[in-house]
Amino acid sequence: MVRNALMTDAKFIQDLVNSYAKDGMMLPLSINEVYENILKYFVYEEDGKVIGCCALYPSWEDLAEIRSLAVDKNLHKKGVGRILVEKCIEKAKEIGVKKIFALTYQIEFFAKLGFRVVDKNELPKKIWSDCLKCCKFPDCDETAMIKEI
């Protein structure tokens, strides 16, 4: 079941995301970053355990980003990631967002959900707000993908 994250989920979210960060697939999160942004997170819970998470970060009036999409590595290919992204899209529609994007290595996954590859330069607000602070800037190797909703 997907639900809004609770403060008690913060450590689980951090552990999930950081398990991918260790492999260079995501940027690591501090527990403070998770606590400060807990209202942006959704979690997928099964049998009382958080097995997936995803966050929706509004970037501008008509634009939001999907971040920190992580699913327990033992539970891939079960639709958890898709359900979490769909929940973010639903929330984006509710708040009036017209486009949603992700910076990702999972191009096929996002393409199946209707996202298309775009040049990162189409996301200037993202680049000047978050990317400048990233340890990978300016040599980001993620692919920018966007979906009109």
CATH number, domain at 128? 3.40.630.30
What is the per-residue pLDDT for 133? 55
Using 50, 70 and 90 to split pLDDT, how confident is the model at 48?
A: very high
- Residue 26 one-letter amino acid: M
Domain of 35, in residue numbers: 2-148
Residues paired with 146 in a beta bridge: 101, 116
Chain segment 114-136, per-residue pLDDT in tens = 999 998 877 755 544 555 555 56
**Mean pLDDT lowest for which of 8-12, 56-60, 95-99, 131-135?**
131-135
Residues paired with 63 in a beta bridge: 60, 99
What is the per-residue pLDDT for 130? 56
